[in-house]
Structure 1
Amino acid sequence: MTVIAGPPSGRVALPPHVTSLLTLLGVATDDVVPVWQGTTGVLTFRAGAHHVKWAPASSGIDVTVEADRISWAAPHVAVPEVVGQASSPEGSWMVTRTLPGSSAVAERWLADPEAAARAVGRGLRTFHDSLPVEACPTEWSIAARVANARTRVDRGDSRALWAPEHRGYSIGEALSLLASPPPLDLVVCHGDACLPNTLLHDDGALAGHVDLGTLGVADRWADLAVAAWSTGWNYGEGYEDALYAGYGLAPDPAKISYYRLLWDLS
């Protein structure tokens, strides 16, 4: 699988609407630095002790939805504090206080992937154990994700976009597999538990989680299978077991296979 999200290359201008919100909040804009660019055109900037996330309308993402989910999770887990959010026909954006620590794909952790993978696993277990399922107002449901997969197929998304291990399936075979999910073990899932979204202190302790736009109730393996998968994208092969060990569960091949296919298609 090709991962194209990452630090932006070249100069990235701060959208005027974001500048206005920073000024309203009293956040200096003379030291704003772009730090991450998503696959849909979503941009994240660092502005002193704050981060700004901007989603153009063309991305199909409403950042204020993520802001609401972060605020719901904040009493239970370490997530950024939302200090401002807004939207317009051009897009949506939010400002958060910067958490301590560094991403699990920072140079510090790329140099020690075994320890990093274990730490990410421990952090994900803390996240799942800490959030109250019964009180969560959102779902990351299989039904909605399968419907999205069908929409993508109907609009003509190419099988070439799938991970190599899934390209042997026909579209019909893949959708048929998704129609038979394994039994559920529900937690509040992160929704995008790939390595860059876990922040760690230098000693490997959890500093927090970011990018919670799809947070919701789902099977724990919807997060766990993809988190372990992303060790290969970011560290190379051989670190999945370290993440599972950190989480405290042995691999579940059936659920890993199902939720990776669901991730790929949806």
Structure 2
Amino acid sequence: MPGEDGAPAREPAGRERTRYVKWLPFPAEAGVIAGLGHEAERLRWAAAYTPVPQVLDHGQDGQAEWLVTTAIEARSAVDPRWIAEPSTAIHALGVALRALHDTLPVSSCPWTWSIEERVARVIPAKADPDTLARLADAPDVLGPVVCHGDAGAPNTLLHDDGTWAAHVDLGRLGVADPWADLAVAARSTLWNYGPGYEHLVYEAYGVDPDPERIAYYRLLWDVT
């Protein structure tokens, strides 16, 4: 698979690594906000500060786009191992998200994930007049921090001892209110582990639930 300069991606001599490939046809699949080039840029930037997959190759041929990254020796928080130990996995999810927010530098982040940008991308079929009115009544932005942009449990990797290892799928990374991530991360526990665990995300992150921002950012997530 050629790189952006037309040359094949190469591994360092004497080293072989498992690789992951994301592939998107043109036009991009429904629901994809940014192309894989956007994710490649964000991964390269974030790699200087926090554990993420290394970008090996990104390219396109007019029919599709691809992104090749290294694998990280860890399991997704929704691996069967961690589905069987939800409290451990969810605690790690909260700790990992706090570490990401504390580590990535807002001052040098080239991207935003603001309410205004996201509202401009609202999917019309999902937003009736009442929903649009609720989105217009946005809470003040706290923080801000550099958000993951898709902070659900599947995108956090864990070591076998239950500590967090890395984050993946950073295509929406940008500066925003930390609750833009927290609201979705906690709700992802419902989807992946069942009810009764959301509080563990907030406890591990070190905050009390903020019902207003939780409701707002979940609504925004649902329509964008």
Amino acid at match of 1:196: P
* Corresponding position: 1:57 with 2:26: yes
In structure 1, what is the equivalent of residue 46 of structure 2? 73
Note if contact 1:62-1:91 (Cα within 8 Å) is conserved in structure 2.
no
* C-alpha displacement of 1:24: 2.5
In structure 2, what is the equivalent of residue 249 of structure 1? 207
Note if contact 1:232-1:239 (Cα within 8 Å) is conserved in structure 2.
yes
Note if contact 1:228-1:243 (Cα within 8 Å) is conserved in structure 2.
yes
Q: Which runs of 4+ in 1 moved over 4 A?
A: none
CA distance in 1 between partners of 2:160 and 2:151 (Å): 20
Note if contact 2:74-2:158 (Cα within 8 Å) is conserved in structure 1.
yes
- Deviations 1:195-236, CA, capped at 9 Å, x for gaps: 100000011211100000010000000000000001000100
Amino acid at match of 1:56: P
Aligned pairs for 1:213-224 within 5 A: 213-224=171-182
Amino acid at match of 2:189: T
Aligned pairs for 1:144-155 within 5 A: 144-149=117-122, 152-153=123-124
In structure 2, what is the equivalent of residue 126 of structure 1? 99
CA distance in 1 between partners of 2:157 and 2:106 (Å): 23
Question: Which range moves more in the overlay, 128-137 or 171-180?
Answer: 171-180
In structure 1, what is the equivalent of residue 152 of structure 2? 194
Runs (5+) with no aligned partner, structure 1: 1-17, 28-46, 160-170
CA distance in 2 between partners of 1:107 and 1:135 (Å): 37
RMSD value over aligned CA atoms? Answer: 1.7
CA distance in 1 between partners of 2:17 and 2:50 (Å): 23
SS of 1:214 mapped into structure 2: coil
* Corresponding position: 1:181 with 2:154: no
In structure 2, what is the equivalent of residue 136 of structure 1? 109
CA distance in 1 between partners of 2:177 and 2:126 (Å): 27
In structure 2, what is the equivalent of residue 25 of structure 1? 9
Question: Which range moves more in the overlay, 193-202 or 82-91?
Answer: 82-91
In structure 2, what is the equivalent of residue 89 of structure 1? 62
In structure 2, what is the equivalent of residue 100 of structure 1? 73
* Corresponding position: 1:115 with 2:72: no
CA distance in 2 between partners of 1:88 and 1:216 (Å): 28
* C-alpha displacement of 1:26: 4.8
User: For residues 158 and 250 of structure 1, do their structure 2 counterparts lie closer, same or farther at Cα, with a shift above 3 Å needed?
Assistant: closer
- Deviations 1:13-40, CA, capped at 9 Å, x for gaps: xxxxx4x56x92357xxxxxxxxxxxxx
Amino acid at match of 2:24: A
Note if contact 1:192-1:211 (Cα within 8 Å) is conserved in structure 2.
yes
Give the TM-score normalised by structure 1: 0.76
SS of 1:182 mapped into structure 2: coil
Identity of aligned residues (%): 49
Note if contact 2:126-2:223 (Cα within 8 Å) is conserved in structure 1.
no
In structure 1, what is the equivalent of residue 129 of structure 2? 172
Note if contact 1:191-1:213 (Cα within 8 Å) is conserved in structure 2.
yes
Aligned pairs for 1:6-25 within 5 A: 18=1, 24-25=8-9
Note if contact 2:17-2:70 (Cα within 8 Å) is conserved in structure 1.
no
Amino acid at match of 2:136: A
Give the TM-score normalised by structure 2: 0.90
Which structure is richer in relative contact order (CA contacts within 8 A, separation 6 or more)? 2
In structure 1, what is the equivalent of residue 167 of structure 2? 209
